[in-house]
Structure 1
């Protein structure tokens, strides 16, 4: 009943749009118009918007070799050719900024009411959103952003300086969240659709997010002192990160009702009436991704992530080379998203995937971040890099298995999926970038496995890590007009129209050569 009640609140105050999910359930779609609501109510909606917006990770999933458009859809020309303009994927800019308006309201209202726990949550999520903006665009409005009519043409801050501020913001958030809960400082409770008001889990999330940010800086020479000092804090014995089973995930009580299903399921799967969504047949796995799973004998995840084509001994996993789009790759001829995410047409009636949690940051990613930091000698831990790496792989396996529609799994893959046995065999396979002992480049193994674990949850994050590390060695689109992958997105046309002086001051931006400050590999 509690989860259903949250949705009644949402439907009463939310403005629902369909523009790529950027403003899904957002209560503050006009950044210059103040809202009048409790911080708890706005927090619920803001958290929901963040999770729903991350669903639309197509561009990252395309450009990091996870996804491809199927042959059943035309278009996607800018994605395939990398010939992008200022009108391309503008929701990556507007979505976080709209969301940030809500978090700003929550933090300010909570501080005014003495609700430090709620203020801490809002500040963590502000850092989360601003990092996405910097990782996509580099310099961006920060210090003058979110000021409404006070600053309608905000100046741009240097991306490097924004990162410094975000790390400080996370430290402040942890201070807020560390204040004991009391009658005057209540927890967020059910208004928190990620952790139900558990401040300890929010601190773990904050530490893990900070670790993500610090590792992004590993190739930046003038950030080494910052990395060392902040890693020293994270290496203290009382520091905790997201642990096994502690995914950051949203669930306000997803229902089999239009607009209230799990947003990933509704976008790429099925409607509340069990019919395929409008984009169901448009997206599929790239051949690069499924070939990697097959070549590395990933017998468990390949069954959870994909559906085979054909029957009996002729069953095959078929992905689409990114850039292709002819009838050879019609959706009916290739492997769609598997039972961890979608049922089949034959099992959709009984499937409950519509109410699965929507993952924002996974425990698998947490372990891979820790593994990399330990392997690089940046973080002190009571676990070795190998132990952390293997925990990351295990969490990827077990999370997918916990989400899967078992009826669809058994009907598509008659052989049993034994996660524990399959995991043990996989990690001792002797295959590079799978078996720790067989991997000469340990960091490459860590990033490669994180790339798999981020599939369908975090395409943008996977693309960002590719830009930082060059891992994995993703092939160019078959329609690429050059020899480079895009290193960033272009500022939206709206910035050149409404904030022309500040946007133009950033210089001539090129998607290949105007790199994000941390992209120094």
Structure 2
């Protein structure tokens, strides 16, 4: 029997739209009204909320070629037909700006006390959130945002100008993070649920985020990426390395509302019963076919589970018939579904290697593109529970887009392997990279209303209601044709 779900946004049982509340951190959820709040205390909750958001990655998992709705549920018109409007994905806008308000509070209070470490971390996370907003919506409030009653209808900034502003913000963050810990610049180790106060790791994360922002602009005419990336390298801390996946570990508990949000929404509740959304989402046919038949990737048993017939079978996005009922199709594997207290991923270390490999291959950085690419595959293999030897055997094979020498398009090989590495963890990033490069060649939904892939989200109804003139000035009329400035034309 099919269960009916009209939208990932109206079925609140399926989503953690606002992110994890973080009550178990014992921190006030609205720091701007909490008399006793301090920057370092608000930091824990802000980091937890950033990592706990699911909406943007769920959308990316669909549009990026990873997931499909199972035949056990009706609805999902937005995903099955690419037919959506201003009510779809509103959690992306709302949760990012709510989160940004927290980080702005931290920066303002910390800067006033010259707490450089706390301020630097918050600035990194502001850039992280703003990039998601640009990549989803294009032009957004930036220079006029987060001013409260001083600007209740903030003007919109050009998306590329926001990207430039994020590089400046990350530069400032790195400067802050270089200041030595002292009595006047206290360590945030007790409140930092990402790196436990290791400021060098925060600098590496900031540099990798800068590299992501810059590499997203490979299609932008007149952008001197070589010079800009040289500045990132000159910062000195380097990039995220082996085993350095950026995660949030607030201390999840086996209690309702305190489990890992991915687990609680897609796997099990605190009582051990199936989550309401467990049977709603399965692997797409494109993902299974690509991993199993095209790439012949040994990670398949780690990334996906066999169906009730003991084979790997995905669902074509858009196909909701009974042949695709949940037990008949492949769900997520043990590298994705681990435990109620598994960390939430902000950025994978494998992504760092693939960003560097692409930058080297395009001539923006010096180095060995092949070796860096293979390091990315190794990182992805070990993160999935396999070994470096397994990875070496794989990229040492003759398979196109696995073996470097046998891959005629090196950029396609890099992006394809990045896509595999990010499966179900950072789906929004996979969708963004598909929009930038066209790789991998994700097919359209079988019932797509147009023969085009989604290029963006619409501004949400809340913004239309409160900032109508500025929204209208952006002239966004199509989810297909109004592309983000960095997208492949």
With normalisation by structure 1, the TM-score equals 0.87
CA deviations on 1:350-402 (whole Å, 9 max, x unpaired) are xx611111111010000000000000000123xx111111111111111121x
Which segment is superposed worse, 121-130 or 255-264? 255-264
1:494 pairs with 2:462: yes
CA deviations on 1:219-246 (whole Å, 9 max, x unpaired) are 111322xx23221123349340000001
User: Offset of 1:477 from its aligned partner?
Assistant: 0.4
Query: 1 CA distance for matches of 2:55 and 2:48?
Result: 11
Which 5+ residue runs of structure 1 have no aligned equivalent? 1-16, 343-351, 402-417
CA deviations on 1:9-46 (whole Å, 9 max, x unpaired) are xxxxxxxx996332432778779857640111110000
CA deviations on 1:295-341 (whole Å, 9 max, x unpaired) are 24545311111111246xxx310100000111101111111111123
Query: 1 CA distance for matches of 2:469 and 2:55?
Result: 33
Cα gap change, 1:118 to 1:136, in 2 (>3 Å): same
Query: 1 CA distance for matches of 2:294 and 2:377?
Result: 13
The answer as to whether partners of 2:57 and 2:428 remain within 8 angstroms in 1 is: yes
1:366 corresponds to: 352
For 2:447, what is the secondary structure of its paired residue?
coil
For 1:437, what is the secondary structure of its paired residue?
coil
Query: 1 CA distance for matches of 2:231 and 2:101?
Result: 30
User: Offset of 1:510 from its aligned partner?
Assistant: 1.4
Cα gap change, 1:484 to 1:38, in 2 (>3 Å): same
The answer as to whether partners of 1:103 and 1:122 remain within 8 angstroms in 2 is: yes
Query: 1 CA distance for matches of 2:28 and 2:88?
Result: 24
The answer as to whether partners of 1:92 and 1:133 remain within 8 angstroms in 2 is: yes
2:18 corresponds to: 22
CA deviations on 1:253-290 (whole Å, 9 max, x unpaired) are 11111111111111111111111101011011001001
Query: 2 CA distance for matches of 1:229 and 1:470?
Result: 25
2:74 corresponds to: 74
CA deviations on 1:78-127 (whole Å, 9 max, x unpaired) are 22211211111111111100000000011111111221000000000000
For 1:132, what is the secondary structure of its paired residue?
helix
1:323 corresponds to: 318
Query: 1 CA distance for matches of 2:453 and 2:31?
Result: 33
Pick from 250, 273, 294 the counterpart of residue 275 of structure 1: 273
Query: 1 CA distance for matches of 2:297 and 2:408?
Result: 23
1:389 corresponds to: 373
User: Offset of 1:444 from its aligned partner?
Assistant: 0.5
Query: 2 CA distance for matches of 1:326 and 1:365?
Result: 35
The answer as to whether partners of 2:61 and 2:427 remain within 8 angstroms in 1 is: yes
1:357 pairs with 2:352: no
Query: 2 CA distance for matches of 1:506 and 1:237?
Result: 36
Pick from 249, 252, 255 the counterpart of residue 251 of structure 1: 249
CA-based RMSD: 2.0
Cα gap change, 1:81 to 1:32, in 2 (>3 Å): farther
Query: 2 CA distance for matches of 1:52 and 1:151?
Result: 28
Pick from 473, 495, 506 the counterpart of residue 441 of structure 2: 473
For 2:73, what is the secondary structure of its paired residue?
coil
The answer as to whether partners of 1:297 and 1:426 remain within 8 angstroms in 2 is: no
Pick from 446, 451, 460 the counterpart of residue 419 of structure 2: 451
Aligned pairs (5 A) from 1:285-296: 285-296=283-294
The answer as to whether partners of 2:56 and 2:89 remain within 8 angstroms in 1 is: no
For 2:41, what is the secondary structure of its paired residue?
helix
Aligned pairs (5 A) from 1:377-416: 377-381=363-367, 384-401=368-385
Query: 2 CA distance for matches of 1:33 and 1:143?
Result: 23
Which 5+ residue runs of structure 2 have no aligned equivalent? 1-12
The answer as to whether partners of 2:85 and 2:458 remain within 8 angstroms in 1 is: yes
The answer as to whether partners of 1:21 and 1:56 remain within 8 angstroms in 2 is: no
Query: 1 CA distance for matches of 2:31 and 2:145?
Result: 10
Cα gap change, 1:63 to 1:28, in 2 (>3 Å): farther
The answer as to whether partners of 2:14 and 2:277 remain within 8 angstroms in 1 is: no
The answer as to whether partners of 1:28 and 1:98 remain within 8 angstroms in 2 is: no
Aligned pairs (5 A) from 1:195-234: 195-224=195-224, 227-234=225-232
2:150 corresponds to: 150
Number of paired residues? Answer: 474
1:426 corresponds to: 394
The answer as to whether partners of 1:204 and 1:242 remain within 8 angstroms in 2 is: yes
1:337 pairs with 2:332: yes
Cα gap change, 1:56 to 1:279, in 2 (>3 Å): farther
Aligned pairs (5 A) from 1:173-184: 173-184=173-184
The answer as to whether partners of 2:142 and 2:156 remain within 8 angstroms in 1 is: yes
1:95 corresponds to: 95
Cα gap change, 1:305 to 1:19, in 2 (>3 Å): closer
Query: 1 CA distance for matches of 2:485 and 2:254?
Result: 44
Query: 1 CA distance for matches of 2:189 and 2:390?
Result: 38
